[in-house]
């Protein structure tokens, strides 16, 4: 009886120690600041709107390549695919002003909440191969719905009612971030050590670099994407 | 390849349909009860085992044993596929057969494993779904029904086409659970219309369901091919059939690989799926009921120009099917207009034709390069002889001209003669009047002309004469102009005998005279009898 108690206590203690160690590891991770530059012209198509103009505006844009200050490339996903087991991130996308907002949504495998704050019909039409492709109507009275994307994948999302609407859901297993208008993304909680950092852009493709991440420090790495 | 076991054979035989050639599809309306039911009920009397109970039992049996139906042999299917299917779908199943280029909608690419018509909520269709499309074909497309093939061959084809998708169809099919059926009623149709507007079906399908919604031009399928929305007023063209269950299933599941999304969780209440179904079924007839002979009704009063006038509602419509012109270049393999509905009347001075046809875009002029003015014409021989010789149906030829009554959205009504689809000449001095309306994807037009005509170019219409007639139509908004048209071969029309009062006068007069004669004869006979 006493033996069993000791075994249980030891087990509990060691489990606690492992958890503490893990947390310490996560805290001890570093930050990777990724800068993505693009040496080309932005690609933004202007579209005349022929319906729902009170919600969508009379003119709208399809943002394929957005280039900001200092040639920084926006809407690129920087991730560390090797670093699994981090914090779960639930996806959240809104259909607002007949646009997917944000243009690129980050999530770890699991659930995504899809909002329709436009008060008109949209349909969520995904083009995916690893996850089941969906095409579900979301009429004005269905303000939110939840879908599951369990496999890592870059998923294109469109709305057939408003054909200019284009968004991406980046399902990444590890820590990730999306570049801002200056082309900068900060990936936090990256485990220390040698890591592969990957940058992906919807039209410009993918690049990879090895980065030596130091705990508690910010490591900078820059990429340059080329037009096709 | 997996070979069916004897048990699977027996099970399939038992739960299979009683009629070998019958369609074993519960979705497609008429189906025969499973064989096991016929046997059981025959042995035990219907009071002991009601047929319906047995049918549901057999259905659960076949669900419990997947593969009971799905036991086609892919190897055996290959030979049939290469003989019958590869021409369009390609030897590799990628939808790129030699004929694919000319077809719209494009043949299915089986390698993607994306099936439009499913009774499942996930990507994987049931084997029955694929079997049914092979058997019934897809109305409004180039996919014909293959019910001529032995049932076994069709099941073998199911196994073979599924194999093209590899592990893309590895997830087992998940059947849709439709809400409890709601029968059609005025209230249900009203609710269906409300829901149709609330969930904005009209964005693609148009306010009256005639495929003229504002998003129609933007729609593309999974492969980037343009895919127009369905015209809900012509449900006989629905790709996956037009029974109540078919329609409700399409609303619930969507049409995979196309912009049509699933609405099962996107209606206010689950039963709205049935209200929508009832509303859609109220938008048009169940079948086109094509005419064979056009009757021109005699009227006494003046004939109204207005296509919406009361008179036209009283006249029977003759539905005429149109085909793409594929004889001379440029050919029209995918005609936009497949039906024109014709009403015709005449009085002692004039003859008038009333046309109704669906066209999703009102193209009055076009840019002259890719779009043109919408148009329609009705064709006659220049002289109506009542004989059997007629000019070449494709707008005449070098030796024999045809006479045309034309209307186009830009220039209005006109008369012309033609010696072929590109050789038109205006007829001078004609007096044709035309008035058209365009509402929610539908044209209505009245063309009116004097009965009698001068000269040799223009026919005079006479009652009770079989008059050759043909039709042509152009959807300018879809790029149709010149030889690129929809058309018919020759039909006949007949002006009914003029209404006269003689039929009300002569028979009573004859009857009275007969009666008088009889009275006279009887009297004469009586007086002779009293005299003797």
pLDDT tens digit sequence for B404-463? 999 999 999 999 999 999 999 999 877 899 999 999 999 999 999 999 988 888 999 999
For residues A158-167, average pLDDT: 95
Are the beta carbons of A155 and A128 closer than 8 angstroms? yes
Measured between beta carbons, the chain A residues lying within 8 angstroms of B260 are 135
Between CA A34 and CA B131 the distance in angstroms is 53
Q: To 5 degrees, how large is the angle CA A73–CA A78–CA A82?
A: 160
Between CA B523 and CA B500 the distance in angstroms is 37
User: Are A135 and B260 an interchain contact pair (Cβ–Cβ within 8 Å)?
Assistant: yes
Q: Is the pLDDT at B157 greater than 50, yes or no?
A: yes
Mean pLDDT of B329-338: 93
Q: Is the pLDDT of residue B215 over 70?
A: yes
Q: Which residues of B touch A132 (CB under 8 A)?
A: 122-123, 171
Whether chain B has a CB inside 8 Å of the CB on A145: the answer is yes
User: Is the CB of B171 less than 8 angstroms away from the CB of A132?
Assistant: yes
Query: What's the gap between Cα B482 and its chain centre?
Result: 25
Query: Using CB atoms, which residue from A127, A140, A161 is nearest to B215?
Result: A161
Look over chain B and give the mean of its residue pLDDT values, rounded to a whole number. Answer: 88
Confirm if B363 and B474 have CB atoms less than 8 A apart: no
- At B31 the pLDDT is 41
Interface list for A 93-122 with B (CB within 8 A): 120-121
Omega cis (within 30) before B54: no
Our CA dihedral for B329, B335, B341, B344, rounded to 10 degrees, sits at: -10
Q: Determine whether the interchain pair B263/A137 forms a contact, defined as Cβ–Cβ distance below 8 Å.
A: yes
Coil, helix or strand for A47? strand
Q: How far is A135 from chain B (nearest CA, A)?
A: 5
Q: Where are the alpha helices (DSSP H) in chain A?
A: 2-27, 53-56
Which comes out higher in pLDDT, residue B355 or B457?
B355
Q: Tell me the chain B residues in contact with residue A136 when contact means C-beta distances shorter than 8 Å.
A: 254, 261-262, 265-266
Q: Do B203 and A161 touch (CB under 8 A)?
A: yes
Collect all residues with Cβ–Cβ distance below 8 Å to A191 and sequence separation of at least 6.
Answer: A25, A26, A29, A83, A213
Q: Nearest C-alpha of chain A: how many angstroms from B156?
A: 27
Q: Distance between CA B217 and CA B209 in Å, rounded?
A: 15
Angle between the B35-44 and B6-15 helix axes, to the nearest 10 degrees?
A: 70
d(CA A191, CA A201): 24
Spell out which residues of chain B touch residue A127, defining contact as CB-CB under 8 Å. 222
Q: Select from B199, B260, B262 the Cβ nearest to the Cβ of A121.
A: B199
ipTM of the complex: 0.81
CB–CB contact A163 B254 (8 Å): no
**Cβ contact B222–A135 (<8 Å):** no
Centre a 10 Å sphere on the Cβ of residue A3 and count the other Cβ atoms it contains. 7
Q: Testing the interface with B: which of A147, A150, A160 to mutate, by most B Cβ within 10 A?
A: A160
What are the backbone dihedrals phi and psi of residue B435, each rounded to the nearest 5 degrees, phi first? Answer: -145, 130
Cα dihedral sign, B45-B47-B51-B57:
negative
The upper half-sphere exposure of residue B293, i.e. CA atoms within 13 Å in the direction of its Cβ, equals 9
Q: Measured between CB atoms, does A143 come within 8 Å of chain B?
A: no
Alpha carbon distance, N-terminus to C-terminus of chain A: 71
- Per-residue pLDDT reduced to its tens digit, B260-298: 999 999 999 999 999 999 999 999 999 999 999 999 999
Interface test with A, best of B215, B268, B276 (most A CBs within 10 A): B215
Buried b (16+ CB within 10 A) or exposed e, A40-74: eeeeeeeeebebbeebbeeebeebebbbbeeebbb
What are the contacts of B328-335 at 24+ separation with CB within 8 A? B328/B394, B328/B420, B328/B421, B328/B483, B329/B483, B330/B482, B330/B483, B330/B484, B331/B483, B331/B484, B332/B480, B332/B483, B332/B484, B332/B485, B332/B486, B333/B102, B333/B103, B333/B104, B334/B103, B334/B104, B335/B475, B335/B480, B335/B485, B335/B486
Between residues B513 and A14, the one the model is more confident about: B513
Residue in A127, A137, A163 closest to B266 by CB: A137
Strand pairing report for A144-149 and A104-107: unpaired
* Closest chain A CA to residue B260: A135
Q: A161-175, B70-84, B239-253, B333-347: lowest mean pLDDT where?
A: B70-84
Residue of higher predicted confidence among B94 and B54: B94
B461-519 tens-digit pLDDT? 999 899 999 999 999 999 999 999 999 999 999 999 876 677 788 889 999 999 999 99
For residues B120 and B174, give the distance between their C-alpha atoms in angstroms, rounded to a whole number: 5
Contacts of A161 in chain B (CB under 8 A): 200, 203-204, 215, 259
- Residue B455 contacts residue B430 (beta carbons within 8 Å): no
Both tokens assigned to B172: 């087992």
Whole-angstrom CA distances from A16 to A9, A10, A13, A23, A133 are 11, 10, 5, 11, 41
Taking an 8 Å cut-off on Cβ atoms, the answer to whether B215 and A145 are in contact is no
3-state class of B356 per DSSP? strand
Please indicate whether residue B385 or residue A158 has the higher confidence score (pLDDT): A158
The pLDDT of residue B431: 80
Nearest Cα to Cα of residue B371 among B513, B481, B450, B514 = B481
Q: What is the mean pLDDT of residues B379-396?
A: 92
C-alpha A62/C-alpha A164 separation (Å) is 6
User: φ and ψ at A191, to 5 degrees?
Assistant: -55, 140
């Amino acid at each position: 009886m006493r033996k069993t108690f000791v075994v249980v206590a030891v087990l509990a203690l060691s489990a606690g120690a492992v958890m503490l160690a893990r947390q310490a590891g996560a805290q001890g991770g570093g930050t990777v600041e990724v800068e993505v530059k693009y040496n080309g012209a932005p690609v933004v198509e202007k579209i005349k709107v022929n319906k729902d103009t009170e919600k969508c505006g009379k003119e709208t844009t399809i943002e394929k390549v957005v280039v900001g200050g200092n040639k920084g490339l926006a809407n690129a996903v920087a991730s560390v695919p090797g670093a699994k087991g981090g914090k779960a991130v639930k996806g959240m996308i809104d259909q607002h002003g007949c646009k997917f907002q944000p243009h690129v949504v980050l999530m770890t495998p699991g659930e995504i909440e899809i909002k329709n704050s436009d008060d008109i019909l949209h349909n969520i039409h995904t083009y995916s191969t690893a996850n089941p492709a969906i095409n579900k109507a979301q009429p004005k009275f269905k303000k939110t719905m939840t879908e599951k994307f369990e496999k890592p994948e870059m998923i294109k999302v469109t709305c057939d009612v408003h054909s200019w609407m284009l968004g991406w859901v980046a399902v990444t297993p590890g820590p990730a971030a999306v570049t801002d208008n200056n082309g900068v993304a900060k990936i936090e909680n990256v485990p220390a050590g040698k890591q592969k950092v990957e940058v992906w852009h919807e039209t410009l493709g993918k690049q990879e670099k090895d980065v030596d991440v130091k705990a508690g420090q910010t490591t900078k790495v820059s990429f340059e994407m080329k037009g096709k | 390849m997996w070979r069916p076991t004897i048990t699977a054979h027996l099970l399939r035989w038992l739960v299979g349909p009683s009629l070998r050639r019958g369609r074993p599809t519960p979705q497609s309306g008429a189906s025969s009860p499973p064989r096991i039911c016929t046997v059981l009920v025959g042995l035990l009397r219907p009071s002991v085992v009601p047929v319906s109970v047995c049918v549901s039992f057999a259905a659960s049996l076949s669900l419990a044993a997947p593969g009971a139906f799905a036991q086609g042999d892919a190897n055996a299917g290959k030979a049939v596929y290469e003989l019958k299917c590869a021409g369009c779908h390609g030897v590799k199943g990628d939808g790129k057969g030699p004929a694919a280029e000319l077809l719209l909608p494009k043949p299915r690419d089986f390698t993607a494993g994306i099936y439009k018509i499913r009774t499942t909520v996930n990507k994987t269709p049931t084997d029955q779904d694929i079997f049914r499309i092979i058997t019934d074909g897809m109305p409004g497309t180039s996919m014909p029904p293959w019910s001529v093939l032995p049932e076994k061959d069709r099941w073998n084809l199911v196994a073979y086409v599924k194999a093209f998708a590899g592990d893309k169809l590895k997830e087992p099919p998940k059947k849709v659970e439709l809400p409890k059926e709601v029968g059609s009623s005025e209230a249900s149709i009203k609710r269906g219309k409300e829901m149709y507007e609330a969930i904005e079906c009209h964005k693609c399908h148009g306010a009256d369901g005639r495929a003229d919604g504002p998003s129609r031009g933007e729609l593309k399928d999974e492969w980037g091919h343009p895919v127009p929305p369905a015209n809900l007023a012509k449900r006989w063209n629905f790709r996956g059939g037009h029974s109540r269950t078919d329609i409700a299933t399409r609303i619930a599941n969507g049409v995979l690989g196309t912009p049509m999304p699933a609405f099962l969780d996107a209606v206010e209440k689950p039963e709205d799926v049935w209200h929508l179904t009832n509303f859609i079924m109220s938008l048009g007839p169940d079948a086109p009921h094509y005419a064979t002979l056009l009757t021109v009704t005699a009227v006494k009063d003046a004939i109204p120009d207005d296509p919406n006038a009361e008179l036209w509602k009283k006249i029977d419509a003759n539905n005429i099917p149109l085909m793409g012109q594929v004889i001379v270049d440029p050919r029209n393999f995918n005609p936009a207009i497949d039906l024109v509905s014709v009403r015709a009347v005449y009085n002692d001075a004039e003859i008038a034709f009333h046309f109704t046809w669906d066209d999703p875009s009102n193209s009055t002029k076009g840019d002259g390069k890719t779009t043109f003015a919408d148009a329609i014409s009705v064709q006659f021989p220049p002289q109506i002889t009542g004989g059997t010789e007629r000019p070449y149906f494709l707008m005449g030829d070098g030796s024999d001209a045809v006479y045309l009554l034309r209307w186009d959205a830009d220039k209005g009504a006109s008369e012309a003669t033609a010696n072929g689809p590109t050789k038109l000449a205006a007829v001078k001095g004609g007096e044709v009047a035309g008035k058209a309306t365009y509402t929610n994807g539908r044209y209505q037009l009245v063309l009116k002309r004097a009965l009698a005509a001068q000269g040799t170019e223009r026919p005079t219409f006479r009652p009770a004469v079989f008059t050759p007639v043909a039709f042509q139509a152009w959807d300018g908004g879809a790029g149709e102009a010149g030889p690129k048209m929809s058309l018919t071969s020759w039909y006949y029309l007949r002006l009914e005998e003029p209404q006269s009062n003689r039929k009300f006068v002569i028979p009573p007069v004859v009857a009275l005279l007969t009666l008088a004669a009889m009275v006279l004869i009887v009297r004469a006979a009586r007086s002779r009898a009293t005299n003797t």
